Structure 1
Amino acid sequence: MTDRPGNLLEVRDLHVRFGAKEVVCGVSFDIAAGEKLALVGESGSGKTITALSLLRLAGDAGVQGNAVFEGRDLLALSEREMRGLRGGDIAMIFQEPMTALNPLMTVGRQISEVLELKQALTQAQSWLAAIELIASTGIPEPARRAAAFPHQLSGGQRQRAMIAMALASRPKLLLADEPTTALDVTLRGQILELLADLQRQTGMAVLLITHDLNLVRRFADRVAVMEQGVLVEQGPVANIFQAPQHPYTRRLIASQPKRDVVEGAPEANARPLLRAHKLRVSYPTPLPGVRGWFKKGEFIAVHGAELCLVPGRTLGVVGESGSGKSTLAQALLGLLPYQGSVEVVGRAWQAPSARNTPANQRLRQQIQVVFQDPFSSLSPRLTVEEIAGEGLHVHEPALPLPERRRRVAAALAEVGLTEAQFPGLLARYPHEFSGGQRQRLAIARALIVQPRVLVLDEPTSALDVTIQQQVLALLQRLQREHGLAYVLITHDVDVVRAMAHDVLVMKDGVVVEAGSVTAVLDAPREAYTQALVAAAH
């Protein structure tokens, strides 16, 4: 690699090792002053550990090579010198702001602390400067938000606060580790535009770590692709996307959700498996002042939703966080009190106070759920056999053990988990599998009781693009083979295009637009739907 004039950072032959395991293998790249470089790859490719090693934050890792920043090798500096650079000339935005921000300090105080330390401002000066920084990131009512704790802000506001904190020291290089992964599609676009605008204003260089290729197309000047610790390809964004040279890069770019569902209108006499009419969900809220002593207010989470789902069809429910998608799903699953009606295979849920009646339990066998994050939804203390067979214990307790084991093995094989591939499969625990494999296990757990309807709550949002494609292909195959009906809860418009036949668009608890997926997404009538579709591209 030849050095380019004006390089701010030059990384050469970087190796990172944990014990005998080398996780970064001879990585070399440059970042010019004011340049935006995207480091892309799947989970485990070494992206984040590369960035952390530059700041010497990789724990007990053994790091070798050179990382020259403005003439000084970061890997050879003393810890005292590095403390001067961290949060100063080099700042970092971490992936999950809820864990990166201190929950016991207000957001403004956390930002002002950086200003006091790095810019030697007084407490009063740093507080005013913190409010200005918060305002510069587009958070409304910056003075009030500065006095808020992290849990009192939305996900997008917390991420903006993290950006404000990173920019407090006016860094020359910003390391942004998956800064939009946990955000809705419209918020992703807003954060991306904010970073690009701030980068133009300050002239800082940005190293963006991500697996979101749409982000890379919109944001970066150059891209570097990592696979299993090796930098396999790098170059200008246009060149890499138009003519990728490495097979891994080509596979990443090709890993967009693909549509493979049974098309056409449903049968005219098809019996609905799931129906909701004038569905309304509300929560009591306290009223201010004396009125709150005698009366409660009301927050309407879902207002007047209508839907009808027949075998072999997928209904996509899209909207931002807080739109009411998950509340709608819980009501359909009979887990929340509601007004209106919900029918599963022609039968209504009994009153919420009688949720565990035999009648409701029989309905639960017909409608199952697959959650967003399989790592948190699967018990770490149960084996694969116990997790997959859990539904049989509840719904078919008299089933003999040999038959139960046969059903468990069949369900696992159907989702691509076999004893031949994973020796000792039934005795393994969830932590022994990758994210995509855990999601397959979650799908097997739902399918083993032979439901007619699956509620899929963001089933691929926590997965890399290639794994996402595999899980979507699996769900599409299962639907074709078994005539399953899906309720797909998501904020990813590309996933809806690939999976859904019909779509509901929700905003503030109200269905603002509904219809076939082509009618709604290709020619949206409502401004909110138009904004969602535009943000996806």
Structure 2
Amino acid sequence: MTPLVQVRDMRVAFEGREVVHGVNFHIDPGEKLALVGESGSGKTVTALSLLGLALNAEVGGSALLAGEKPDAAPTDLLKLSERQLLRVRGDDIAMIFQEPMTALNPLYTVGNQVAEVLEVKQGLSKRQAWDGAIEALAATGIPEPARRATAFPHQLSGGQRQRAMIAMALAARPRLLLADEPTTALDVTLRGQILGLLADLQRQTGMAILLITHDLNMVRRFADRVAVMEHGHLVEEGTVQQVFEQPQHPYTRKLMDSRPTRGVTEPDTAAAPVMAAKGLQVSYPVALPGMRGWFRRGAFTAVRSADFAIRPRQTLGVVGESGSGKSTLAMAALGLLKHGGDLDVVGQKWGPKAAANQGIRRQVQVVFQDPFSSLSPRMTVEEIVGEGLLVHEPHLSADERRTRVLAALDDVGMPESQFPGLLGRYPHQFSGGQRQRLAIARALIVQPRLLVLDEPTSALDVTIQKQVLKLLQRLQRDKDLAYLLITHDVEVVRAMAHDVLVMKNGEVLESGPVEQVLGQPSHDYTRALVAAAG
């Protein structure tokens, strides 16, 4: 079989610094090839360079695209001008991106954005293009496609936005689809739906797919072949079965061994709960439709009657899709939302005044999902990690505060001896995993009893995720910490949690020991979550 795309000795450099080093691979017609690697491995730059989308890149080698007819000569994508590439983009090769909210234009309806592709690429009239856009949206399984076509991106859910972007990419029926982390921003069940959708569309149209990802479960379920990249080098290639069952390269084996491993300690069941909730409820005021909204406001209940208790050295996992209420529950636990029912923190209740809550706030700290967003870019490491001491222990001298900062950094595996000038550095000078360690040090420095972990590893590569989870497990053992773990990743819950709450639409559908709930789920929704985690 003649390859659809044959890449030979492809090199990509920026300002003379080479980041992709002579890679060779091919994609056959109708094939699903996964390009796997961590952030910085060069996989996305490689895919963008095929379409001339890597800004200011110096690209060498060749990438031969087979002609549409058997006797047609192949086209070298890397030698085409910008004008020539415009004819290739969409017609022959299309691309969908990781985050649809930033890839879609917020000023136009999704229908207009899909219709524009049909007008430009197929020369259809506006009426024909609009009808074609609705058909394309319907093909992706969006409910009520005619109505959704008139919606703006922000009016759709994450899964619907990704389906709209897929419709736009496939509107001109390309021969190759480049899918760059197409499900990373989605919940676990939506990931399965999008993968199934891409597989169905691939079978219907016969297109090939180049999937760019670091999610090995996704690769195992979706791809035909795998190509593994490390630091710009393609280190291994083969069928999914070959690479997963008999990985040859050390880096591939490292990736395969990066699934979270369980290493929890037994909780102190005799101790009083660090946090306990009974009938916890959180509601938001909403406007009522029609004339009723003139006189009174309604309420949307985001969390209904949640019960739980967390003791020292215990982790409670809260799982569910976006909109399930798990983040709202975490905000209530942090004393940031008004709530009904009972919520005790070390025997006290959150009060209406911030000053009265200061003692409780020291006992409950938080680690957020994205450390790059949660750490101030204008503050040094010393200022970031030591900030809590200014509030909770203002009597400390500068030297005493610095000693505590260094101790907290040492606790999270970032001693000053390994990072010269550590205290004076800024967040952008560290990797994602190191930034998350800084965020954990900031939370630990005030010696809390409980950490709220809000998706603490979902923004990290798989190998870094495993390192951070091991760190959290060690800290829990050493410091008798309790964790409230908010996540949609069932594998992380298996590795970290003692008990689990499964939430959907604000309700706790199922709760209990993690082995029971995830091993023998009694609710259909829990079974779907476990199955989607694969």
TM-score over 0.5 for the alignment?
yes
- In the alignment, the residues of structure 2 paired with residue 488 and residue 284 of structure 1 have an alpha-carbon distance, to the nearest angstrom, of 27
The aligned residue for residue 62 of structure 1 is 58
Q: Deviations over 1:403-451 (max 9, x none)?
A: 1000000101110112222110000000000110000000000000000
The aligned residue for residue 371 of structure 1 is 368
The aligned residue for residue 468 of structure 2 is 471
In the alignment, does 2:29 pair up with 1:33? Answer: yes
The aligned residue for residue 282 of structure 1 is 283
The counterpart of 2:409, out of the listed 408, 412, 422, is 412
Matches within 5 A, 1:478-489: 478-489=475-486
The aligned residue for residue 317 of structure 2 is 316
2:79 aligns to what SS in structure 1? coil
- In the alignment, the residues of structure 1 paired with residue 396 and residue 325 of structure 2 have an alpha-carbon distance, to the nearest angstrom, of 39
- In the alignment, the residues of structure 1 paired with residue 275 and residue 289 of structure 2 have an alpha-carbon distance, to the nearest angstrom, of 40
In the alignment, does 2:45 pair up with 1:44? Answer: no
Gapped regions of structure 1 (runs ≥ 5): none
Post-superposition offset of 1:6: 2.3
1:7 aligns to what SS in structure 2? coil
Post-superposition offset of 1:16: 0.3
Post-superposition offset of 1:522: 0.2
State the identity %. 70
The aligned residue for residue 153 of structure 1 is 156
In the alignment, does 2:534 pair up with 1:531? Answer: no
Post-superposition offset of 1:266: 4.1
The aligned residue for residue 69 of structure 2 is none
In the alignment, does 2:10 pair up with 1:14? Answer: yes
The aligned residue for residue 88 of structure 2 is 85
In the alignment, does 2:385 pair up with 1:388? Answer: yes
2:186 aligns to what SS in structure 1? coil
The aligned residue for residue 216 of structure 2 is 213
Count of equivalent residues: 527
Matches within 5 A, 1:94-113: 94-113=97-116
1:488 aligns to what SS in structure 2? strand
- In the alignment, the residues of structure 2 paired with residue 495 and residue 376 of structure 1 have an alpha-carbon distance, to the nearest angstrom, of 22
Q: Which amino acid aligns with 1:313?
A: Q
Post-superposition offset of 1:88: 1.5
Post-superposition offset of 1:110: 0.3
- In the alignment, the residues of structure 1 paired with residue 282 and residue 144 of structure 2 have an alpha-carbon distance, to the nearest angstrom, of 30
The aligned residue for residue 513 of structure 1 is 510
- In the alignment, the residues of structure 1 paired with residue 172 and residue 135 of structure 2 have an alpha-carbon distance, to the nearest angstrom, of 13
2:78 aligns to what SS in structure 1? coil
The aligned residue for residue 119 of structure 2 is 116
- In the alignment, the residues of structure 2 paired with residue 233 and residue 25 of structure 1 have an alpha-carbon distance, to the nearest angstrom, of 14
Decide which moves more: 319-328 or 335-344.
Answer: 335-344
1:389 aligns to what SS in structure 2? helix
- In the alignment, the residues of structure 2 paired with residue 288 and residue 350 of structure 1 have an alpha-carbon distance, to the nearest angstrom, of 33
Q: Deviations over 1:242-270 (max 9, x none)?
A: 0000000000001000000114x643x31
Matches within 5 A, 1:490-509: 490-509=487-506
Post-superposition offset of 1:20: 2.9
Q: Which amino acid aligns with 1:316?
A: G
Post-superposition offset of 1:94: 0.8
Matches within 5 A, 1:263-282: 263=266, 266-267=268-269, 269-282=270-283
Q: Deviations over 1:62-92 (max 9, x none)?
A: 1000000010000111211100011221000
The counterpart of 2:254, out of the listed 244, 251, 256, is 251
Q: Which amino acid aligns with 1:131?
A: I
Post-superposition offset of 1:100: 0.6
Q: TM-score, normalised by structure 1?
A: 0.97
Q: Deviations over 1:309-347 (max 9, x none)?
A: 100000000000000000000001100011111111010
- In the alignment, the residues of structure 2 paired with residue 418 and residue 148 of structure 1 have an alpha-carbon distance, to the nearest angstrom, of 51
Decide which moves more: 100-109 or 291-300.
Answer: 291-300
CA RMSD, 1 decimal: 0.7
Matches within 5 A, 1:89-238: 89-238=92-241
Q: TM-score, normalised by structure 2?
A: 0.98
